[in-house]
Amino acid sequence: MARHHLHYSKKPKGGVHLESIFLLQLKNGIMLGCQYSLIAIGFSLFFGVLNVVVFCHGNIASIFLFVSSALLALAIGIGTKLPQLSNIFIVIIIFGTICITGLIGVMIERSIIRPFRKSPGLMTLLITASAGIVIEQVLKNFFPQGSNPQMFPLELGTTQYKLGTFTIFGNEIFIIIVTSLLFLFTFLFIKKTRIGSHIEAISQDFEAAAMLGINVNRGIAITFFLGASLAAVSGFMHGIYYNVFRFDMGGMAGIKGFSASVVGGLGSIFGAIMGGFLMGFVETFAAAYIPGASPYRDVFSFIVVLIFLVFRPSGILGQIVPEKV
């Protein structure tokens, strides 16, 4: 019984048990992981079908946030007169804007990526990086007050649930459930549907798929629609979780998502998910448990990327592809 005093015999004053703090930090990491992995899946899908890195992918999430919040502000304004309609309006607007964002993804592929399909990958990288800057500046200059931080007009799930010392908000549960469903949906879509098998065929061998009569352009367009919509959902999660967004956050989101898909193994959906969560956990736990590390949390997550690139360049789940001759 000499060690008895080491146990918490009473509830500590103020503070909470270390184990439950760990659980809460785990939850914080999952929240970041959900947002990163939804963007990372897009990077992996695009790389899979076209062997290109689409650097404006993060900015697509900001397009969603700007467009949907403008429409929502409008709908909430109308909703004050038609209260019974406003909820349906909101759902329609969110889904509508996700679809619009998906179509923007398709447009980006059609207009600036397809013409460079036969060019070196460097060209696509450069042109999509420029497109990212264009999107950022358009949002900044053409939206009213675009350069200022924007408020997301929708508040969702502000009730708090308690399980002992563990607390979770409604919107956090919502984010976890929706993200898991989307993971499942994307997986089933690629593995179990006809279009999905076309996409997989294109990513295995572009020319052979075309020769076998697969409509390659349609498959690629659907891939871009899917990837851009997932980025839009990631933006939506950001909106309801933090309530604030800025025109320039797409760039960082893109770099994080890209890094996550590299860590997971470019081309692999599961890899992208795992990479996204790994980045989220590294950032959270570095800030939480390494003294003085909070301003350098991004540095820690990028060190992980560096370590992977040096020691396992194929990523967690990627296979080493033999050079095609």
Partner 1 sequence: MKKLFVLALLIFLIIPAFLFAAGDKEQQVVKVAFIAPFTGGNAEMGIAGRNGFELAINEANRSGMFPYKIELVALDDGSVPEQGVAAAQKASSDPAVVAAAGHFNSPVALATVPVFHENNVPMVIWSAIHPDITEIYGKKWKEITRICVTIPLETKAFFDWIVGDLGYKTFSVISDTTSYGKSTLDVFLDEAKKRNVTIASSDMINVGETDFMAILTKIKGLNPRPQALYYSGVVMEGALIRQQMIKAGLNDMMFCAISGLDSERFNEVAGKNAEGTLVVGKGRGEELPKWPAFVQAYKDAGYKEALSVRTAYGYDAAMLILQALKEVGPDRAKLVDAIRKIKYEGIFGTYTFDETGQTTLAAAAYLVSQDGTFVPFEKSEYASGKRKLPGK
Which is closer to partner 1, CB of 19 or CB of 205? 19
Produce one character per residue of 263-298: b if its CB has 16 or more CB atoms within 10 Å, e if not: bbbbbbbbbbbbbbbbbbbbbbbbbbeeeeeeeebb
Which one, of 223, 196, 218, 256, lies nearest residue 61 by Cα?
256
**Smallest separation, CB 153 to partner 1 (Å):** 12
How many H helices and E strands in the chain? 11, 4
CA distance 158 to 97: 23
**Smallest separation, CB 183 to partner 1 (Å):** 21
Tokens of residue 119, six digits? 């060019």
Say which residue the tokens 């992980």 belong to.
304
Geometric angle at alpha carbon 34, from 157 and 286, rounded to 5°:
105
Q: Residues 297 to 316: which contact partner 1 by CB under 8 A?
A: 297
Tokens of residue 104, six digits? 């923007």
Which is closer to partner 1, CB of 68 or CB of 284? 284
Interface with partner 1: number of residues (CB under 8 A)? 38
Distance in Å from the first CA to the final CA of the chain: 71
Binding of partner 1 at residue 73 (CB under 8 A)? no
**Smallest separation, CB 306 to partner 1 (Å):** 20
**Smallest separation, CB 147 to partner 1 (Å):** 4
User: Residue 91 CA to chain centroid, in angstroms?
Assistant: 20
**Smallest separation, CB 77 to partner 1 (Å):** 17
Which is closer to partner 1, CB of 119 or CB of 160? 160
- Residues 116/127, Cβ–Cβ less than 8 Å: yes
Which is closer to partner 1, CB of 109 or CB of 172? 172
Which is closer to partner 1, CB of 24 or CB of 73? 24
Binding of partner 1 at residue 284 (CB under 8 A)? yes
Binding of partner 1 at residue 243 (CB under 8 A)? yes
Which is closer to partner 1, CB of 57 or CB of 238? 238
Q: Residues 93 to 152: which contact partner 1 by CB under 8 A?
A: 145, 147-149, 151
Binding mask 10-49 for partner 1 (x = CB under 8 A): --xxxxx-x--x--xx--x--xx-----------------
**Smallest separation, CB 85 to partner 1 (Å):** 25
Binding of partner 1 at residue 161 (CB under 8 A)? no
Tokens of residue 93, six digits? 């607007």
**Smallest separation, CB 24 to partner 1 (Å):** 5
Which is closer to partner 1, CB of 20 or CB of 217? 20
CA distance 205 to 15: 57
Angle between helices 216-242 and 249-264 (to 10 degrees): 120
Q: Would you call 208 exposed, middle or buried from its count of C-beta atoms within 10 A (0-12, 13-18, 19+)?
A: exposed
Q: Residues 171 to 210: which contact partner 1 by CB under 8 A?
A: none
H or E segment at 163?
strand 160-163
Which is closer to partner 1, CB of 223 or CB of 259? 259
**Smallest separation, CB 148 to partner 1 (Å):** 5
Q: Which residues bind partner 1 (CB under 8 A)?
A: 12-16, 18, 21, 24-25, 28, 31-32, 145, 147-149, 151, 160, 167, 169, 238, 242-246, 248-249, 283-285, 287-289, 292, 294-295, 297
